[in-house]
């Protein structure tokens, strides 16, 4: 009987704090005492610099650069990959969760495992080569050869994502890593997306639709902005993010992830308690587009136009709502909120 191996990647500039994200809350609800379940948590992009970076000023600069353009993406991805190298055994089920750029990190870990395989324990010296092969190599014969020579073919059982953001690379030259938009090595994808986020630097990053792929994909739009969906506000203002937390927990549990029932009852109560709020479609919705973010709205950004075959154009966003493709799945909480909050009428519903 295999084990569950669970990796959790927090959101941009997020870590354990008074404003915990859904990644932390899900991790807190996991059964971490079960012999057949291993867990791993990584703070978000922009929260730390590598141990080898000395000097307060240099560490501050590297951390801010990571926050701005995911400068340390390699470290974030390979740290999670290394954990799996050490602990994965045949028959284990891998669950990976992430929010914001942590969701992109989660997708990148899964993509790296699909493209170059999972190196065997003790081969840490090959990790830089594996990363380079994953990031740069387009020759399928070459990376297939690397995988067959050094690695194991390992499926990802469950990929749980909250509002993926992929601001990787300089602002004028965003990068996309191969197999992060679609990955045959992932069995189940569950993706919660923010309907009301408008910032240009937080564009939607949907999982690609390919009917030939075997992956079971469910992407659902929920009410609120980026952190109303992935969490990160103080607890008494977390009613909207609890909707997606409950949804994700139920989806993961259906795939045999194990939770601590006591912790679950505390963090996801049926009704508000002194410490934790319950999921509530009528809860406070935040405004993320304010201050400096408005200035950034008037910087030209590359944009893939779905109405023109996803051709790349440059545009000034100016606070435009996200594009919701026809046929998208809208969570019932959106319509519940429209009924209970008359001023809530999302203009981007298909």
Judging by beta carbons within 10 Å of its beta carbon (0-12, 13-18, 19+), is residue 321 exposed, middle or buried?
Answer: middle
* Window from 54-58, 61-65, 250-254, 299-303 with minimum mean pLDDT: 61-65
CA distance 123 to 161: 29
Q: Which CATH number fits domain 4-287: 3.30.360.10, 3.40.50.1820, 3.90.230.10, 3.90.1150.10?
A: 3.40.50.1820
User: 189-242 pLDDT, tens per residue?
Assistant: 999 999 999 998 888 999 998 888 899 999 999 999 999 999 999 999 999 999
Q: Under a CB-based contact definition with an 8 Å cutoff, are residues 240 and 281 in contact?
A: yes
Mean pLDDT throughout 101-110?
Answer: 95
Contact 131, 112 (CB under 8 A): yes
pLDDT of 69 strictly over 80: no
**Measured between alpha carbons, how far is 49 from 62 in angstroms, rounded to an integer?**
6
Q: Are strands 186-194 and 156-162 parallel, antiparallel or unpaired?
A: parallel
In the predicted structure, residue 309 carries a pLDDT above the cut 70: no
> How do residues 129-160 score in pLDDT, each as one tens digit?
999 999 988 889 999 999 999 999 999 999 99
pLDDT value at 169 more than 70: no
Q: Supply the pTM of this predicted model.
A: 0.89
- In the block, which residue shows the tokens 């309907």? 195
Are the C-beta atoms of 63 and 92 separated by less than 8 Å?
Answer: no
Per residue in 243-291, pLDDT (tens digit) is: 999 999 999 999 999 999 999 999 999 999 999 999 999 999 999 988 8
CB of 10 closer than 8 Å to CB of 99:
yes
* Largest pairwise CA distance in the chain: 60
Token pair listed for 226: 């980026």
Please tell me whether residue 279 adopts helix, strand or coil conformation. Answer: coil
Is residue 313's pLDDT more than 80? Answer: no
Closest listed residue to residue 201, CA positions, set 285, 320, 99, 340: 320
- Sequence spans of domains, the chain: 4-287
Query: What ranges make up the beta strands (E) of the chain?
Result: 4-9, 37-42, 93-99, 118-119, 151-152, 156-162, 186-194, 216-222, 301-305, 311-315, 329-330
Q: What is the pLDDT of residue 66?
A: 41
């Amino acid at each position: 009987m295999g084990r569950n191996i669970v990796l959790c990647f927090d959101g941009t500039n997020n870590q354990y704090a008074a404003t915990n994200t859904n990644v932390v809350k899900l991790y807190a609800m996991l059964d971490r005492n079960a012999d057949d379940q291993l867990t791993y948590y990584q703070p978000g992009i922009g929260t730390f610099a590598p141990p080898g970076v000395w000097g307060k000023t240099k560490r501050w600069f590297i951390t801010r650069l990571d926050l701005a353009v995911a400068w340390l993406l390699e470290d974030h991805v390979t740290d999670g990959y290394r954990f799996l190298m050490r602990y994965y055994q045949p028959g284990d089920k891998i669950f990976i969760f992430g929010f914001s750029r942590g969701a992109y990190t989660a997708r990148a870990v899964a993509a790296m495992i699909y493209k170059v395989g999972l190196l065997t324990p003790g081969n840490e010296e090959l990790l830089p080569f594996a990363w380079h092969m994953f990031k740069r190599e387009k020759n399928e014969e070459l990376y297939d050869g690397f995988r067959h020579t050094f690695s194991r073919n390992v499926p990802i059982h469950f990929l749980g994502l909250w509002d993926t953001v992929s601001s990787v690379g300089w602002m004028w030259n965003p990068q996309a890593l191969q197999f992060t938009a679609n990955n045959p090595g992932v069995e189940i994808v569950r993706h919660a997306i923010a309907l009301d986020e408008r910032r240009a630097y937080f564009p939607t990053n949907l999982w690609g639709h390919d009917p030939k792929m075997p992956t079971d994909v469910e992407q659902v739009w929920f009410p609120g902005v980026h952190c109303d969906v992935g969490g990160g506000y103080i607890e008494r203002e977390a009613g909207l993010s609890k909707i997606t937390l409950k949804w994700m927990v139920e989806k993961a549990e259906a795939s045999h992830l194990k939770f601590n029932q006591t912790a679950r009852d505390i963090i996801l109560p049926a009704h508000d308690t002194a410490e934790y709020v319950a999921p509530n479609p009528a809860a406070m919705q935040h405004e993320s587009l304010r201050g400096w973010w408005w200035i950034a709205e008037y910087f030209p950004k590359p944009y893939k136009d779905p109405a023109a075959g996803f051709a790349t154009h440059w545009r000034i966003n100016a606070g435009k709502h996200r594009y919701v493709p026809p046929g998208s799945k809208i969570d019932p909480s959106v319509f519940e909120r429209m009924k209970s909050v008359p001023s809530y009428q999302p203009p981007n519903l298909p």
